[in-house]
Amino acid sequence: MSNQTATARAHTNIALIKYWGKTNSKLTIPTTSSLSLTLDHFYTETSVTFQPELQHDQIIFNQKLLSEKQARRISNFLDLVRIQSNCQAYALVETVNHVPTAAGLASSASGFAALAAAASRASGMDLSNKELSRLARKGSGSATRSIYGGLVEWRHGIGDHSSYAMPLSESPQWDLVVIALLFDKKQKQISSTIGMERSKQTSPYYQDWVKQSALDLKQIKRAIHHQDFTSFGEIVEANAMNMHALTISAQPSYTYFNGQTIQAMELVQQLRKQGIPVYFTLDAGPNLKIILQRSNLAAVKARLTSVFGQDQYVVVAAGPGIQYLK
Protein backbone atom coordinates (compact mmCIF):
# COMPACT_ATOMS: atom_id res chain seq x y z
CA MET A 1 0.00 0.00 0.00
CA SER A 2 1.08 3.61 -0.43
CA ASN A 3 2.71 5.59 2.37
CA GLN A 4 -0.44 7.50 3.22
CA THR A 5 -0.22 9.69 6.33
CA ALA A 6 -3.22 10.55 8.49
CA THR A 7 -3.15 12.99 11.41
CA ALA A 8 -5.81 13.25 14.09
CA ARG A 9 -6.39 15.28 17.23
CA ALA A 10 -8.37 13.98 20.19
CA HIS A 11 -9.17 15.71 23.46
CA THR A 12 -9.14 14.24 26.94
CA ASN A 13 -12.31 13.71 28.94
CA ILE A 14 -13.18 13.63 32.60
CA ALA A 15 -15.52 10.93 33.82
CA LEU A 16 -18.50 12.37 35.68
CA ILE A 17 -19.91 8.88 36.25
CA LYS A 18 -16.84 6.70 36.62
CA TYR A 19 -15.54 3.65 34.80
CA TRP A 20 -13.75 1.47 37.36
CA GLY A 21 -13.46 -2.20 36.51
CA LYS A 22 -13.86 -4.58 33.58
CA THR A 23 -15.86 -7.72 32.86
CA ASN A 24 -13.50 -8.54 29.98
CA SER A 25 -9.93 -7.25 30.18
CA LYS A 26 -8.91 -8.38 26.69
CA LEU A 27 -11.73 -6.44 24.99
CA THR A 28 -11.93 -3.71 27.68
CA ILE A 29 -15.62 -4.30 28.41
CA PRO A 30 -16.49 -2.32 31.57
CA THR A 31 -18.62 -3.50 34.48
CA THR A 32 -20.66 -0.28 34.38
CA SER A 33 -21.69 2.38 31.88
CA SER A 34 -20.10 5.79 32.37
CA LEU A 35 -20.54 9.42 31.41
CA SER A 36 -17.89 12.03 30.66
CA LEU A 37 -17.21 15.59 29.57
CA THR A 38 -14.66 16.08 26.79
CA LEU A 39 -12.31 18.99 27.61
CA ASP A 40 -11.03 21.72 25.29
CA HIS A 41 -7.60 22.36 26.82
CA PHE A 42 -5.89 18.95 26.94
CA TYR A 43 -5.36 16.99 23.72
CA THR A 44 -3.12 14.61 21.75
CA GLU A 45 -2.10 14.96 18.10
CA THR A 46 -0.97 11.80 16.32
CA SER A 47 0.27 11.11 12.79
CA VAL A 48 0.47 7.58 11.41
CA THR A 49 2.12 6.36 8.20
CA PHE A 50 2.22 2.67 7.26
CA GLN A 51 5.54 2.07 5.52
CA PRO A 52 6.25 -1.34 3.85
CA GLU A 53 10.02 -0.85 4.21
CA LEU A 54 9.93 -0.69 8.04
CA GLN A 55 11.10 -3.76 9.99
CA HIS A 56 9.03 -2.85 13.08
CA ASP A 57 6.78 -0.04 14.32
CA GLN A 58 8.59 3.19 15.12
CA ILE A 59 6.88 5.28 17.79
CA ILE A 60 8.05 8.83 18.38
CA PHE A 61 6.39 10.12 21.56
CA ASN A 62 6.87 13.80 22.38
CA GLN A 63 9.85 13.87 19.95
CA LYS A 64 11.53 10.85 21.58
CA LEU A 65 11.88 7.47 19.86
CA LEU A 66 10.50 4.78 22.16
CA SER A 67 12.20 1.42 22.64
CA GLU A 68 10.27 -1.63 21.43
CA LYS A 69 9.42 -2.42 25.07
CA GLN A 70 8.10 1.11 25.71
CA ALA A 71 6.13 1.00 22.45
CA ARG A 72 4.56 -2.41 23.05
CA ARG A 73 1.10 -1.18 24.07
CA ILE A 74 0.90 1.04 20.97
CA SER A 75 2.24 -1.72 18.68
CA ASN A 76 -0.32 -4.17 20.09
CA PHE A 77 -3.04 -1.68 19.23
CA LEU A 78 -1.63 -1.20 15.72
CA ASP A 79 -1.81 -5.00 15.30
CA LEU A 80 -5.59 -4.72 15.77
CA VAL A 81 -5.73 -2.05 13.06
CA ARG A 82 -3.60 -4.21 10.74
CA ILE A 83 -5.93 -7.19 11.22
CA GLN A 84 -9.08 -5.11 10.69
CA SER A 85 -7.74 -3.29 7.61
CA ASN A 86 -5.78 -6.23 6.15
CA CYS A 87 -2.68 -4.02 6.11
CA GLN A 88 0.65 -5.83 6.45
CA ALA A 89 3.01 -2.86 6.92
CA TYR A 90 4.58 -1.52 10.08
CA ALA A 91 3.91 2.09 10.99
CA LEU A 92 5.72 5.28 11.81
CA VAL A 93 3.76 6.98 14.59
CA GLU A 94 4.50 10.51 15.74
CA THR A 95 2.47 11.64 18.72
CA VAL A 96 2.53 14.79 20.81
CA ASN A 97 0.71 14.83 24.13
CA HIS A 98 -0.55 18.20 25.36
CA VAL A 99 -1.48 16.52 28.64
CA PRO A 100 0.63 15.43 31.64
CA THR A 101 0.98 11.65 31.08
CA ALA A 102 -0.50 9.18 33.60
CA ALA A 103 -1.33 11.79 36.25
CA GLY A 104 -5.09 11.25 36.30
CA LEU A 105 -5.81 13.67 33.45
CA ALA A 106 -6.86 11.01 30.92
CA SER A 107 -3.79 11.17 28.68
CA SER A 108 -4.45 7.59 27.53
CA ALA A 109 -7.99 8.61 26.51
CA SER A 110 -6.85 11.31 24.12
CA GLY A 111 -3.80 9.24 23.11
CA PHE A 112 -5.63 6.12 21.98
CA ALA A 113 -8.56 8.04 20.48
CA ALA A 114 -6.12 10.01 18.30
CA LEU A 115 -4.18 6.83 17.46
CA ALA A 116 -7.36 4.94 16.52
CA ALA A 117 -8.50 7.75 14.23
CA ALA A 118 -5.13 8.33 12.53
CA ALA A 119 -4.17 4.65 12.20
CA SER A 120 -7.55 3.53 10.86
CA ARG A 121 -7.56 6.27 8.23
CA ALA A 122 -3.89 5.75 7.26
CA SER A 123 -4.58 2.03 6.78
CA GLY A 124 -7.33 2.83 4.29
CA MET A 125 -10.36 2.29 6.53
CA ASP A 126 -13.19 4.81 6.72
CA LEU A 127 -14.78 4.07 10.09
CA SER A 128 -17.91 5.68 11.50
CA ASN A 129 -17.55 7.34 14.91
CA LYS A 130 -19.33 4.38 16.49
CA GLU A 131 -16.83 1.95 14.90
CA LEU A 132 -13.96 4.24 15.89
CA SER A 133 -15.25 4.31 19.47
CA ARG A 134 -15.24 0.49 19.56
CA LEU A 135 -11.69 0.39 18.18
CA ALA A 136 -10.32 3.06 20.56
CA ARG A 137 -11.84 1.17 23.53
CA LYS A 138 -9.40 -1.71 22.94
CA GLY A 139 -6.46 0.65 23.50
CA SER A 140 -7.85 2.44 26.57
CA GLY A 141 -11.36 2.23 27.96
CA SER A 142 -11.79 5.97 28.43
CA ALA A 143 -10.57 6.57 24.84
CA THR A 144 -13.92 5.25 23.64
CA ARG A 145 -15.51 8.49 24.95
CA SER A 146 -12.91 10.91 23.48
CA ILE A 147 -14.20 10.22 19.96
CA TYR A 148 -17.03 12.64 20.75
CA GLY A 149 -17.22 16.15 22.15
CA GLY A 150 -19.26 17.47 25.05
CA LEU A 151 -21.19 15.07 27.29
CA VAL A 152 -20.67 11.44 26.27
CA GLU A 153 -22.10 8.13 27.52
CA TRP A 154 -20.15 4.87 27.23
CA ARG A 155 -22.64 2.00 27.18
CA HIS A 156 -20.98 -0.96 28.88
CA GLY A 157 -22.62 -3.54 26.64
CA ILE A 158 -22.07 -7.29 26.85
CA GLY A 159 -19.41 -7.72 24.17
CA ASP A 160 -17.33 -6.04 21.50
CA HIS A 161 -20.22 -4.94 19.29
CA SER A 162 -22.40 -3.50 22.05
CA SER A 163 -19.74 -1.63 24.09
CA TYR A 164 -19.17 1.85 22.66
CA ALA A 165 -19.71 5.52 23.41
CA MET A 166 -22.50 7.75 22.14
CA PRO A 167 -22.83 11.53 22.43
CA LEU A 168 -25.40 12.71 24.95
CA SER A 169 -24.93 16.39 24.12
CA GLU A 170 -21.97 17.32 21.89
CA SER A 171 -22.49 21.07 22.43
CA PRO A 172 -24.00 21.41 25.91
CA GLN A 173 -26.25 24.45 26.18
CA TRP A 174 -25.13 24.60 29.77
CA ASP A 175 -22.25 26.90 30.61
CA LEU A 176 -20.18 24.33 32.49
CA VAL A 177 -16.60 25.20 33.41
CA VAL A 178 -13.98 22.89 34.89
CA ILE A 179 -10.97 24.04 36.89
CA ALA A 180 -8.26 21.38 36.75
CA LEU A 181 -5.89 21.58 39.71
CA LEU A 182 -2.45 20.25 38.79
CA PHE A 183 -0.90 19.11 42.05
CA ASP A 184 1.24 16.31 40.71
CA LYS A 185 2.18 15.76 37.06
CA LYS A 186 4.31 12.70 37.81
CA GLN A 187 3.35 9.20 36.74
CA LYS A 188 1.16 7.57 39.38
CA GLN A 189 2.43 4.67 41.50
CA ILE A 190 -0.54 2.39 40.77
CA SER A 191 -1.89 2.48 37.22
CA SER A 192 -5.63 2.66 36.59
CA THR A 193 -5.55 -0.85 35.08
CA ILE A 194 -3.95 -2.39 38.19
CA GLY A 195 -5.98 -0.23 40.58
CA MET A 196 -9.38 -1.09 39.15
CA GLU A 197 -8.61 -4.82 39.00
CA ARG A 198 -7.51 -4.78 42.66
CA SER A 199 -10.68 -2.92 43.66
CA LYS A 200 -12.90 -5.31 41.70
CA GLN A 201 -11.24 -8.43 43.13
CA THR A 202 -10.83 -7.37 46.78
CA SER A 203 -13.16 -4.52 47.81
CA PRO A 204 -16.18 -5.86 49.73
CA TYR A 205 -18.21 -2.93 48.38
CA TYR A 206 -17.65 -3.51 44.66
CA GLN A 207 -21.09 -4.95 43.82
CA ASP A 208 -22.76 -2.10 45.74
CA TRP A 209 -20.72 0.30 43.58
CA VAL A 210 -22.03 -1.36 40.39
CA LYS A 211 -25.65 -0.95 41.53
CA GLN A 212 -25.16 2.65 42.72
CA SER A 213 -23.34 3.62 39.54
CA ALA A 214 -26.31 2.51 37.38
CA LEU A 215 -28.60 4.65 39.56
CA ASP A 216 -26.19 7.61 39.37
CA LEU A 217 -26.17 7.45 35.57
CA LYS A 218 -29.95 7.43 35.37
CA GLN A 219 -30.24 10.36 37.77
CA ILE A 220 -27.51 12.48 36.18
CA LYS A 221 -29.12 12.15 32.75
CA ARG A 222 -32.33 13.47 34.30
CA ALA A 223 -30.41 16.37 35.92
CA ILE A 224 -28.78 17.23 32.57
CA HIS A 225 -32.15 17.14 30.80
CA HIS A 226 -33.64 19.55 33.36
CA GLN A 227 -30.44 21.63 33.61
CA ASP A 228 -30.48 21.06 37.36
CA PHE A 229 -26.88 21.98 38.22
CA THR A 230 -27.17 21.29 41.95
CA SER A 231 -28.37 17.70 41.47
CA PHE A 232 -25.81 17.25 38.67
CA GLY A 233 -22.94 18.38 40.91
CA GLU A 234 -24.05 16.32 43.91
CA ILE A 235 -24.23 13.14 41.80
CA VAL A 236 -20.82 13.79 40.19
CA GLU A 237 -19.11 14.35 43.55
CA ALA A 238 -20.75 11.37 45.28
CA ASN A 239 -19.90 9.06 42.38
CA ALA A 240 -16.23 10.10 42.51
CA MET A 241 -16.02 9.53 46.26
CA ASN A 242 -17.73 6.13 45.92
CA MET A 243 -15.11 5.14 43.34
CA HIS A 244 -12.27 6.21 45.62
CA ALA A 245 -13.88 4.31 48.50
CA LEU A 246 -13.15 1.19 46.43
CA THR A 247 -9.43 2.00 46.46
CA ILE A 248 -9.37 2.58 50.21
CA SER A 249 -11.35 -0.62 50.90
CA ALA A 250 -9.22 -2.81 48.57
CA GLN A 251 -6.66 -5.30 49.88
CA PRO A 252 -4.02 -3.99 50.10
CA SER A 253 -5.52 -0.53 50.47
CA TYR A 254 -4.28 2.34 48.29
CA THR A 255 -5.29 5.89 47.45
CA TYR A 256 -4.68 8.43 44.71
CA PHE A 257 -5.20 11.39 47.08
CA ASN A 258 -2.38 13.51 48.45
CA GLY A 259 -2.49 16.28 51.06
CA GLN A 260 -3.32 18.97 48.53
CA THR A 261 -6.17 16.85 47.12
CA ILE A 262 -7.83 16.78 50.54
CA GLN A 263 -7.12 20.48 51.10
CA ALA A 264 -8.84 21.30 47.79
CA MET A 265 -11.84 19.09 48.62
CA GLU A 266 -12.30 20.99 51.88
CA LEU A 267 -12.00 24.31 50.04
CA VAL A 268 -14.83 23.26 47.66
CA GLN A 269 -16.99 22.32 50.66
CA GLN A 270 -16.27 25.74 52.27
CA LEU A 271 -17.28 27.54 49.05
CA ARG A 272 -20.58 25.64 49.07
CA LYS A 273 -21.24 26.70 52.67
CA GLN A 274 -20.74 30.28 51.47
CA GLY A 275 -23.50 29.77 48.88
CA ILE A 276 -21.41 29.10 45.76
CA PRO A 277 -22.61 25.94 43.96
CA VAL A 278 -19.34 24.19 43.16
CA TYR A 279 -18.48 20.47 43.12
CA PHE A 280 -15.45 18.26 42.54
CA THR A 281 -14.46 15.05 40.85
CA LEU A 282 -11.17 13.20 40.38
CA ASP A 283 -9.98 10.11 38.57
CA ALA A 284 -6.96 7.87 39.26
CA GLY A 285 -4.62 10.64 40.36
CA PRO A 286 -4.37 13.45 42.91
CA ASN A 287 -5.48 16.25 40.56
CA LEU A 288 -8.90 17.53 41.55
CA LYS A 289 -11.31 18.89 38.94
CA ILE A 290 -13.75 21.50 40.17
CA ILE A 291 -17.04 21.82 38.29
CA LEU A 292 -18.97 25.08 38.32
CA GLN A 293 -20.95 27.51 36.21
CA ARG A 294 -19.13 30.36 34.50
CA SER A 295 -21.01 32.98 36.53
CA ASN A 296 -19.11 31.84 39.64
CA LEU A 297 -15.71 31.51 37.96
CA ALA A 298 -14.17 34.80 39.20
CA ALA A 299 -15.02 34.10 42.85
CA VAL A 300 -13.70 30.52 42.75
CA LYS A 301 -10.50 31.50 40.92
CA ALA A 302 -9.80 34.22 43.49
CA ARG A 303 -10.13 31.70 46.30
CA LEU A 304 -7.96 29.09 44.58
CA THR A 305 -5.28 31.67 43.79
CA SER A 306 -5.13 32.77 47.43
CA VAL A 307 -4.66 29.17 48.64
CA PHE A 308 -2.67 27.44 45.89
CA GLY A 309 -1.39 30.19 43.58
CA GLN A 310 -2.56 30.74 40.02
CA ASP A 311 0.06 28.48 38.38
CA GLN A 312 -1.49 25.34 39.95
CA TYR A 313 -4.74 25.34 38.00
CA VAL A 314 -6.11 25.75 34.51
CA VAL A 315 -9.67 26.63 33.43
CA VAL A 316 -11.20 24.39 30.76
CA ALA A 317 -14.62 23.95 29.18
CA ALA A 318 -16.42 21.45 26.95
CA GLY A 319 -14.23 20.38 24.05
CA PRO A 320 -14.77 18.88 20.59
CA GLY A 321 -14.71 15.32 19.33
CA ILE A 322 -12.14 13.77 17.02
CA GLN A 323 -10.63 16.07 14.40
CA TYR A 324 -8.71 15.02 11.28
CA LEU A 325 -5.88 17.42 10.53
CA LYS A 326 -4.51 15.56 7.48
The domain that holds 10 is classified in CATH as 3.30.230.10
How far apart are alpha carbons 46 and 15 in whole angstroms? 23
User: Do 192 and 78 have their domain in common?
Assistant: no
User: Do 91 and 194 have their domain in common?
Assistant: no
Over residues 210-232, the pLDDT tens digits come to 999 999 999 999 999 999 999 99
- Could you tell me the pTM of the whole model? 0.94
Among 172, 197, 219, residue at a domain's last position = 172
- Does residue 188 carry a pLDDT above 90? no
Least confident of 1-5, 60-64, 170-174, 297-301: 1-5
154: in domain: yes
- Does residue 120 carry a pLDDT above 90? yes
156: in domain: yes
Among 172, 206, 228, residue at a domain's last position = 172
Over residues 121-131, the pLDDT tens digits come to 999 999 999 99
User: Do 16 and 118 have their domain in common?
Assistant: yes
243 versus 187: the higher-pLDDT residue is 243
Query: What is the span of the domain harbouring residue 198?
Result: 176-317
- Does residue 6 carry a pLDDT above 90? yes
Q: What is the CATH number of the domain that holds 242?
A: 3.30.70.890
pLDDT-based confidence at residue 263 (cuts at 50, 70, 90): very high
Over residues 49-73, the pLDDT tens digits come to 999 999 999 999 999 999 999 999 9
Average pLDDT over residues 64-93: 96
325: in domain: no
Q: What pLDDT is recorded for position 8?
A: 98
User: Do 256 and 306 have their domain in common?
Assistant: yes
Q: What pLDDT is recorded for position 2?
A: 55
Average pLDDT over residues 315-323: 95
User: Do 53 and 12 have their domain in common?
Assistant: yes
199: in domain: yes
User: Do 17 and 153 have their domain in common?
Assistant: yes
- Does residue 100 carry a pLDDT above 70? no
Mean of all residue pLDDT scores within the chain: 94
- Does residue 104 carry a pLDDT above 70? no
322: in domain: no
User: Do 308 and 189 have their domain in common?
Assistant: yes
User: Do 210 and 241 have their domain in common?
Assistant: yes
Among 143, 172, 201, residue at a domain's last position = 172
255: in domain: yes
User: Do 107 and 75 have their domain in common?
Assistant: yes
164: in domain: yes
Percent of the chain exceeding pLDDT 70 equals 97
Q: How many CB atoms lie within 10 A of CB 296?
A: 15
